[in-house]
Amino acid sequence: MDTLKVVQQRRIIWYIKSEVVLLRFFFQSILLFFYRIIRNTLFNHFYFISLIYLHKVTSMKNFYKELLTKVSICLLCVYCSVTNQTLAQTTTINYQVDYSDFPNPERGFYKHYETTDFTSDNVSPQLDLAQLMVARGDNKTLALRLFYLNKFKNTAIAASYLNGIQNDMNTARQAGVKLILRFAYNSTNQTMRHSDDASLAIVLQHIAQLKPIFQANADVIAAIQASFIGTWGEWYFTHPDFTNPDNSPNYINRKRVVDSLLSAVPTSRMIQIRTPYYKQNMYGNGSTGSAAAINPILSYNGSPVARLGHHNDCFLASSTDFGTYLNITEDKNYLEAETKYLVMGGETCVVNSPRSDCINLGGDADTELARFHWSFLNADYRAEVLDRWSSPGTCMNNIRLGLGYRFEMISGTFANSVELGKLLQFQIRLKNVGFASAFNARKVILILRNTSNNNEYSIPLNDIDPRRWEPFQSVFDEVDIYRNIAIPGDFKQGIYSMWLQLADPYLSLTSDPLYAIRMANTNMWEAATGYNNLQHQITLLCPNQLSLTSTKDDYSTGTKSLVANKSIIGQNTISGGKVSYSARNFVELKPIFEVKQGAVFETSFDGCQN
């Protein structure tokens, strides 16, 4: 016998509805019908059309955002009137801003470490755990790791060297930092020494060897630079395989390297290209300026254009940043539009006053870091440039706080109580005051912690993507999160504090607080867990009745105990584990209720009461 069916004779209950109730139902149905038409046609159409126009007509940005906001508010009002769902009996908390500097993953100043082998005579043989932890204590959660492969220009990478790379990954994970990876074959800048670089065939062979390391350690890789070519891996002064006879770049072979990297690196990770025109020549759409940039609709979809970001290793060094820009105006417009959705970072390389100075000294430093959405910057190079930013009254503190994302909670409105099995309603308002969006995905989780015994329930908010929280420019850039979250019927009644976790999506790091995002608010961060305290308590109440359906209340594993004050109606499936129903008046099991073989089902009449 495959299944055991537990059936109680169905009760037939007739409800006599008044004409007033029927009339109300009729008009609500009409409203709901028109609301769904508006939502599914006009709203969706307007939203995607707006994205296209916002991408192409930047001067109309605020107009479209304002119009879209007003339409959204109107639709929300219609929704509330139809469903009669309002935030009754709520509490609103206004959060206070924290202006201090603190560490957050995948942003800020980074430390630079390089190695040619993993022996003791090298400047930086293996990553040192103590050094990384000291750097993290100074709010640096990133390190750029440059691996020189000059010993392997004509052969495969030795197993001992690959083991050394893996050891570095392990050390980074232990220290709570992430790595920006770069590979190069030489550090000379003489144009005629092409033999110092590896051929296309060797580069492709090495990428294939590195693929298992990339795949196994994506959790601690922040980004990978499309290096391997040229001095320092920056695509200059390279092997003839990557240069045409007229000394122009051979984009066909260079694209083969990038394509190989895109295939070897997990799709969750971006690859940085050294200059805007490199990406445009290999993956461009034929346009120039902002029109050539990635369409917002395609962002984060895993395609090559959505994974190829940018780095600038001569930031502010000249009017062209030492060749970073060919057409300065067009390339800058392109980079500004691209980096809204793609990783951007790099380093300075020479003092070029006043351009390399802060804005209050007539320079462009803080202005261009914000314009091009920089997430990280070398903390060590070039010291003379960074020192000028650190002089009294200049911009270093703003840059420290501004690099990458910085999320400030504005307010939260939460229900004070909710019955088990019902919807928890809340609204959160926040803004991103950093230079950039988060460029890697995050897992957003609502945590309910019992104030009596500290037991926790985790509720994933899978439809929220912090990468979409763009840098704040006006009130229309504020992030408003409205949610109705179903509270499972098997949660325990009681008083719970509410927390928000922005965790790393990789299972190896999800519960590690060193890799969780901290909100820039006072009295919010819990360092031991990586949670942000929403500063509200909610009471989970025992329901009068639970109605369990096969679409949302099927159980297959674990132990579940569902209780109600009066009654439980079961029309679901229990395919595994141990499940118990308890209600004070009755437990009714519909004919479609089913307990599969191997599962354990119990019922009692203890129930619960608030």
Pick 54 or 127 by higher pLDDT. 127
Q: For position 30, what pLDDT does the model report? A: 52
Spatial separation of the C-alpha atoms in residues 315 and 321, rounded to whole Å: 6
Spatial separation of the C-alpha atoms in residues 513 and 535, rounded to whole Å: 19
pLDDT at 17 over 90: no
Within 121-193, strands assigned E span 142-148, 178-184
pLDDT at 32 over 50: no
Q: For position 600, what pLDDT does the model report? A: 95
Q: For position 88, what pLDDT does the model report? A: 52
Pick 16 or 93 by higher pLDDT. 93
In 154-272, alpha helices (H): 159-175, 200-216, 251-264
Instruction: Kindly state the DSSP code that residue 38 receives in the 8-state scheme.
Output: I
Amino acid identity for residue 4 in this structure: L
pLDDT averaged over every residue in the chain: 86
Is 597 within 8 Å of 4 (Cβ atoms)?
Answer: yes
pLDDT at 203 over 60: yes
Handedness of CA 191, 194, 200, 204 (dihedral sign): negative
Instruction: Kindly state the DSSP code that residue 43 receives in the 8-state scheme.
Output: I
Spatial separation of the C-alpha atoms in residues 398 and 443, rounded to whole Å: 28
Q: How confident is the model at residue 606 (pLDDT cuts 50, 70, 90)?
A: confident
Q: How confident is the model at residue 158 (pLDDT cuts 50, 70, 90)?
A: very high
Q: How confident is the model at residue 345 (pLDDT cuts 50, 70, 90)?
A: very high
Q: What residues contact 316, with CB distance under 8 A and at least 6 apart?
A: 348, 352, 355, 356, 363, 364, 365, 368, 385
Spatial separation of the C-alpha atoms in residues 292 and 449, rounded to whole Å: 48
Q: How confident is the model at residue 389 (pLDDT cuts 50, 70, 90)?
A: very high
Write the DSSP assignment of 470-516 as a string of letters: PBPSSGGG-EEEEEEEEPPTTSPPEEEEEEEEEE-SSTTTTT-GGGS
Mean of pLDDT values over 416-420: 95
Q: For position 477, what pLDDT does the model report? A: 85
pLDDT at 431 over 70: yes
**Cα angle 68, 71, 73; round to 5:** 110
Q: Two tokens at 477?
A: 């850039």
Mean of pLDDT values over 393-417: 97
Q: For position 237, what pLDDT does the model report? A: 80
Q: Give the largest CA-CA distance in the chain.
A: 93
Spatial separation of the C-alpha atoms in residues 422 and 227, rounded to whole Å: 53
Q: What residues contact 432, with CB distance under 8 A and at least 6 apart?
A: 405, 406, 407, 408, 469, 470, 471, 472, 477, 479
pLDDT tens digits for range 276-308:
999 999 999 889 999 999 999 999 999 999 999
SS3 track for 536-551: EEEEEECCCEEEEECC
Instruction: Give the percent of the chain with pLDDT over 90.
Output: 73
Q: Tokens 């010291």 map to which residue?
A: 383
In 251-327, alpha helices (H): 251-264, 276-283, 304-307
Mean of pLDDT values over 38-44: 40
pLDDT tens digits for range 371-380:
999 999 999 9
pLDDT at 79 over 60: no
pLDDT at 35 over 50: no
Is 343 within 8 Å of 375 (Cβ atoms)?
Answer: yes
Q: Which of 46-50, 260-264, 357-361 has the lowest mean pLDDT?
A: 46-50
Q: For position 38, what pLDDT does the model report? A: 46
Q: Tokens 């392997």 map to which residue?
A: 152
Q: Tokens 């004409």 map to which residue?
A: 19
Instruction: Give the percent of the chain with pLDDT over 70.
Output: 83
pLDDT tens digits for range 211-240:
999 999 999 999 999 999 999 999 988 889
Whole-angstrom CA distances from 403 to 175, 301, 312, 318 are 21, 24, 15, 22
Q: For position 15, what pLDDT does the model report? A: 29
Q: How confident is the model at residue 190 (pLDDT cuts 50, 70, 90)?
A: low
Mean of pLDDT values over 536-548: 93
pLDDT at 83 over 50: no
Q: For position 610, what pLDDT does the model report? A: 75
**β pairing state of 443-450 and 545-549:** unpaired
Q: How confident is the model at residue 172 (pLDDT cuts 50, 70, 90)?
A: very high
State the virtual CA torsion across 169, 175, 181, 182 in degrees, nearest 10. -100
Write the DSSP assignment of 394-442 as a string of letters: SSHHHHHHHSS--EEEEEEEEESEEETTSEEEEEEEEEE-SSS---S--
Spatial separation of the C-alpha atoms in residues 311 and 279, rounded to whole Å: 11
Report the residue count for the chain: 610
Residue whose C-alpha is closest to residue 548's, from 525, 584, 526, 572: 572
pLDDT at 210 over 80: yes
pLDDT at 114 over 90: yes
pLDDT tens digits for range 547-591:
888 877 888 888 989 999 999 999 999 999 999 999 999 999 999
Buried b (16+ CB within 10 A) or exposed e, 392-406: eebbbebbbbbbbbb
Q: For position 120, what pLDDT does the model report? A: 60
Q: For position 456, what pLDDT does the model report? A: 97
Q: For position 191, what pLDDT does the model report? A: 53
pLDDT at 44 over 90: no
pLDDT at 10 over 60: no
Q: How confident is the model at residue 194 (pLDDT cuts 50, 70, 90)?
A: low
What is the enclosing helix (H) or strand (E) of 133?
Answer: helix 129-137
Start-to-end Cα distance in the chain: 41
Q: For position 117, what pLDDT does the model report? A: 79
Q: What residues contact 435, with CB distance under 8 A and at least 6 apart?
A: 369, 370, 373, 374, 375, 402, 403, 404, 471
Q: What residues contact 130, with CB distance under 8 A and at least 6 apart?
A: none
Tell me phi and psi for residue 425, to 5 degrees: -105, 135
Q: How confident is the model at residue 522 (pLDDT cuts 50, 70, 90)?
A: very high
Q: Which of 77-91, 236-250, 350-364, 419-433 has the lowest mean pLDDT?
A: 77-91
pLDDT at 45 over 60: no
pLDDT at 507 over 60: yes
- Counting Cα atoms < 13 Å in the Cβ hemisphere of 196 gives 19
What is the enclosing helix (H) or strand (E) of 79?
Answer: helix 61-83
Tell me phi and psi for residue 574, to 5 degrees: -115, 105
SS3 track for 320-351: CCCCCCCCHHHHHHHHHHHCCCCCEEEEECCC
